[in-house]
Amino acid sequence: MNIFKLFFWNKLPLPYKLFLVYTPLIIIPVISGSFYLTSKFNESNRNTVTEYSEELLELISGKIDDRMSVFEDISFQLLWVPEIQRFLQNPPVSPYENVELKASISNRVDAITAGKEKKSIKAVVLISDTDRLVIGEDDKNKYFDDDPSFVQIALSKKGRVEWFLPQTFTSSSLKFDAFRLARVVRNEKLQNIGLLYLVLDTKIISDFFKETKLGEDVKWQMQTATGEEIVKSSTDIKRDTGKEPIMISHTLNHFRWLASVYLPLNDLYKTIDQMNQLTLWIALFFLLIGLLATYILAIDIIVPLRRLKNNMKQGIKGVAPSSLRKFTGTKELVELNDTFISVMYEIQQLILEVVKNQSLKRNAEIKALQNQLSPHFLYNALNSIRWMAMLQNQHNIKEMIDSLSQLLTYSMRKMDELVPIHEELSALNDYINIQKVGQQNFQFNVDMHHDLRNIRVLKFLIQPLIENSLVHGLAQINCTGKINVTIYKKDLYLMIHVIDNGCGISPDKLEEIVNRLNGKDGKEPTKHIGLRNVHERIQLHYGQISGLSIDSAVDKGTRVTITLPWEGTTR
């Protein structure tokens, strides 16, 4: 065992080790025994082999016929799948419908091609006038379906199936030989609406020959009626002097293809007795090797497996990944153990991230609550002031109190609650009415299409931005201030712009604000808390693809943009 470790044994993958161990136990005895056994067969055995092979080839040909017919039936079933007809005739308008339709087609194709034939179907390809859909693996050259002759031949069949001879294709850096089985797709009015073809691995033929008992040295091939080669084996015939191989041919009934088998006679003329004697000695010799190999594999596999099992038990119990043991042994088990430890590190990191996100969410909620007033006490006090204003006919004070009461009632609901955007804008108008009492010199406008009024957003999403514009933007200008809120849909996002004509922000100050907004300065924020609060709430609820962005120039005003995923606002 130390000798194996000293050289290369521990570095070899398990399949190589099994090959090195069991090759002398299985392959060498079989080949050697077959060579000596068949060397003494007389010429009469030739006829027996020929008859047997003819029957076997006829059986293979029948199976190939049946299997090729199965693929034709599959292609015929696909012609009338409603989703395929729809894809070829009426392509979807929106990307979402297009993705949904293609997924539905893929599910239908999987259902029809389910079974052992599915492994032989590399791809199902649909071609319309405007689109091309591949279910399965695509070729880097698109299976050459842009060749005019390919389309012309398929169209000439008028809906009948056409088999194209195998070609070499490349998919995911893997080369393979495959047929293309093509049909023209027609609608109910028998009008051509597209092309459908299956890409079939040539193994649908070669597997039948490989699975038979013709022998390992047998050469076979399949040709068309005109002599064109379709598929063949890679085995070369070993010919002895004066002993030509037996050639057997059979024509497939359905496709009229010619299947041929070449049987070598090298192993038909050896002595069975000599083979039996040699086999006995070989069996005894390799029995000892097998016992030694079994012992080595037990040391190299069973022990590492036990250690891996112990590591997994420890990991499930919550032991830190740094405490899990590494070991030597079979390459695959060592890699599996390393992968398991890496996964445990990933799980540990994910747990830390979840805890961090929960902490951020709690902090954001606390900050939101800190920005609220004591609602119940203030509500009762405002109600008393309202009645006093009514008794003294101070209607402007009453209106201000009403706006503040409505705003307070709105704020008493949960901060993480989603509300229709028209309610958010209504509360925003109450806030504007209050601000205009103390600051009359500004205008406020909202531009939003009526269809968006029921879109749902977080509460108090826009109010902090308006407050920021009033305090930092419009307070320092001598002209009439303007604040415009624009809401619209862009692609897959809801865009909200808050634009003012205030004093603007210098580039250095803007960079500082953006860094604070994204938490890059590493400090607890003391300024622009409202902006930071809104930004964090958005990202915690909608994800990192959302948030705030700020554009500003000195003396030209500021624009703050809220970006929300459209799907998240329509739930």
Q: What is the pLDDT of residues 415-430, one digit of tens each?
A: 557 889 998 898 888 8
Highest mean pLDDT among 230-244, 360-374, 434-448: 434-448
> What are the tokens at 523?
């400090």
What dihedral angle (degrees, nearest 10) is formed by the CA atoms of 334, 340, 344, 349? Answer: 90
pLDDT for position 536: 85
**8 A C-beta contact, residue 123 and residue 135:** yes
Centre a 10 Å sphere on the Cβ of residue 259 and count the other Cβ atoms it contains. 24
The residue among 240, 176, 163 whose CA lies nearest residue 206 is 176
Contacts of 102 (CB under 8 A, 6+ apart): 87, 133
The residue among 329, 276, 323 whose CA lies nearest residue 39 is 276
pLDDT per residue as tens digits for the range 164-201: 989 889 887 688 889 999 999 888 888 888 899 999 88
Centre a 10 Å sphere on the Cβ of residue 160 and count the other Cβ atoms it contains. 11
Element (H, E) at 212: none
Centre a 10 Å sphere on the Cβ of residue 103 and count the other Cβ atoms it contains. 11
175: β partners: 170
Confidence label for 564 from pLDDT (cuts 50, 70 and 90): very high
> Would you call 63 exposed, middle or buried from its count of C-beta atoms within 10 A (0-12, 13-18, 19+)?
middle
Three-state secondary-structure class, residue 228? coil
**8 A C-beta contact, residue 302 and residue 272:** no
Three-state secondary-structure class, residue 149? helix
pLDDT for position 277: 63
Q: In whole angstroms, how large is the CA radius of gyration of the chain?
A: 39
Spatial distance between the Cα atoms of 356 and 353, rounded to a whole number of angstroms: 5
Three-state secondary-structure class, residue 503? coil
More confident residue, 214 or 149: 149
> What are the tokens at 456?
């749902």
In 204-285, beta strands by DSSP E: 219-223, 229-232, 246-251, 258-263
Highest mean pLDDT among 347-351, 363-367, 504-508: 504-508
pLDDT for position 409: 65
Residue 489 has pLDDT above 80, yes or no: yes
Ramachandran region of residue 185, left (φ > 0), alpha (ψ -120 to 50) or beta? beta
Strands 258-263 and 219-223 turn out to be: antiparallel
pLDDT per residue as tens digits for the range 2-29: 554 545 666 666 555 665 666 666 656 6
497: β partners: 486, 561
Confidence label for 484 from pLDDT (cuts 50, 70 and 90): very high
pLDDT for position 6: 46
More confident residue, 417 or 89: 89
Spatial distance between the Cα atoms of 550 and 386, rounded to a whole number of angstroms: 39
More confident residue, 388 or 339: 339
Residue 486 has pLDDT above 90, yes or no: yes
SS3 content of the chain, % helix, strand, coil (to 5): 55, 20, 25
Mean pLDDT lowest for which of 63-72, 338-347, 516-525? 516-525
Spatial distance between the Cα atoms of 205 and 532, rounded to a whole number of angstroms: 67
Q: Is the pTM of this model over 0.85?
A: no
Confidence label for 377 from pLDDT (cuts 50, 70 and 90): very low
Spatial distance between the Cα atoms of 503 and 557, rounded to a whole number of angstroms: 6
Residue 150 has pLDDT above 80, yes or no: yes
DSSP tag of 146 = T
The position carrying tokens 């919550």 is 318
Spatial distance between the Cα atoms of 559 and 556, rounded to a whole number of angstroms: 10
Residue 136 has pLDDT above 70, yes or no: yes
Report in angstroms the alpha-carbon separations of 129 from 75, 89, 133, 387.
20, 9, 12, 74
More confident residue, 46 or 15: 46
The residue among 532, 537, 446 whose CA lies nearest residue 496 is 446
Confidence label for 88 from pLDDT (cuts 50, 70 and 90): confident
Q: What is the mean pLDDT of the chain?
A: 77
pLDDT per residue as tens digits for the range 312-323: 888 877 788 777
pLDDT for position 367: 58
Mean pLDDT lowest for which of 68-77, 234-243, 486-495? 234-243
Mean pLDDT lowest for which of 147-156, 302-311, 462-471, 553-562? 302-311
> What are the tokens at 325?
């043991």
Spatial distance between the Cα atoms of 132 and 136, rounded to a whole number of angstroms: 13
The position carrying tokens 């000195």 is 554
**8 A C-beta contact, residue 122 and residue 171:** yes
Confidence label for 294 from pLDDT (cuts 50, 70 and 90): low
What percent of the chain shows pLDDT beyond 70? 70
In 369-502, beta strands by DSSP E: 418-420, 442-448, 456-458, 481-490, 493-500
The position carrying tokens 């065992």 is 1
Highest mean pLDDT among 20-29, 255-264, 463-472, 550-559: 550-559
Mean pLDDT lowest for which of 290-294, 381-385, 393-397? 381-385
Spatial distance between the Cα atoms of 262 and 433, rounded to a whole number of angstroms: 97
∠ CA 515-520-526 to the nearest 5 degrees?
70
More confident residue, 303 or 195: 195
418: β partners: 458
Strands 557-565 and 547-553 turn out to be: antiparallel
Confidence label for 373 from pLDDT (cuts 50, 70 and 90): very low
Q: How many CA atoms lie within 13 A of 388 on its CB side?
A: 8
Confidence label for 376 from pLDDT (cuts 50, 70 and 90): very low
Mean pLDDT lowest for which of 255-259, 357-361, 414-418, 514-518? 414-418
Three-state secondary-structure class, residue 164? strand
What dihedral angle (degrees, nearest 10) is formed by the CA atoms of 110, 115, 121, 126? Answer: -30
Mean pLDDT lowest for which of 236-250, 370-384, 549-563? 370-384
